[in-house]
Chain A
Amino acid sequence: MENFLQLLIAKYNYWIYITLMMIGLFGVIAKNNLVKKIVGMSIFQTAIILFFVSMGMKKGATIPIVLHDHGAPSPVQAVDYINPLPHVLMLTAIVVAVSTLGVALALAVKVYKKYGTLEEDEILEQIRNS
């Protein structure tokens, strides 16, 4: 039990991302409304973005801009700086997430114009009856 608690507290960033990811997955799979599904998908993507962002974090480190002592640069210690690479990667992933969200919402509008509803079961019933 104590081990488990330690695991829970020491790796809290992982637990947060897993919880968010599962909420998103639940939304995509279980929700009936298409927009709710899109929201779930967006939460899922955000969870992974947060996972990457937390991965670059170091205790007691600062933003990755090299400090200068006005003329005499001190040797750079990697421990003093947060790893910027995962953050930079996530800039791209955010762009991808935004465009996916845009496409998905545009499609939802198209679906709504065609069927007059966003509830999946009602749409499927209309398709079955036609």
Chain B
Amino acid sequence: MPTLRIELVVLLLASSALAAPPRDAVADEAQGHFVRGTQLVREARWAEALASFEKARAVKPHPITTFNIAACERAIGHLTVARAAFRQALAENDGGQLPAAFATEAKGLVAELDGVVARLALTVAPDGVALALDGRPLQTEGEVKVAGTRAPGPGETIPSERFVVELDPGAHVLVFSRKGYRDQVVRRTLEPGARESMTLSLDRLPGTLHVSSEQDGALVTVDEKDLGPVPVDVLRPAGPHLVTVSLKGFVPLESRVVLQAGEETDLRASLKPEPPAFYTRWWFWTGVAVVAAGAAVGTWAATRPAPRTPDIGGGSLGWQVELP
């Protein structure tokens, strides 16, 4: 059927070209590509024909050329692209350049393709995932994402967790990606007209924690698990972690580090020497000495006998005369 339609269009174009007044070089170039495309169609060389028609449209757009492009895409199996092209042909036909029968045909083919295109309802966690389907971003058409209609490129972010993708029947590769999460690649084969759903969840990437210290031999614990002396490189799930760096003679350093998924966090500890114990400080023992000396003096003063005057006696006669 597509072949017949295109041949018909070719005839129409040829007749109209003959009947039309002399044209410019651009029109001639477009007609040349168009005619070449029709010849390739006859030979069922759909890809080459598609290229010729696209060249013709690039030089001079025309609803019939777009119709033929849609027909070629359909023949190749690019159903979503073909559907979009038929819709575009209809959209470009505001001047009635597309014969009514072809317009009707285009509408019919759009309806047909609606039924043939597969629909895949996706539920992806977390939200904000970028999806590339067969190496192309998706085309947003209302509530639906359409695959295969855009040029090859990286996936684009889809804000919602739930969405529907229309795609050609057959085998596809879906690449889900999100920063901080491990990419997930899904191969999926869909039957024509399939209505399927898929739920998946991306795994968070771990964070890399690098712990070092200005002091050699400092011991590292993460979440109370001993990891040995610095330097330490560990993978830990993204999120908060309790990191402790300790070394004898230094004040342990404890820090709560929030690891970002897929990122490396470098923690460098600068331990401060422990203040010497109070009983090793000079002022402590000086105070002790002062207190002890005070206690000694106080004890001595409190317990010593009062000073006594030496007994000068009274001579051998035992008489001491004390003059007033």
Q: Are A and B subunits of one complex?
A: no
Chain B interfacial positions (CB closer than 8 Å to A): none
Chain A interfacial positions (CB closer than 8 Å to B): none
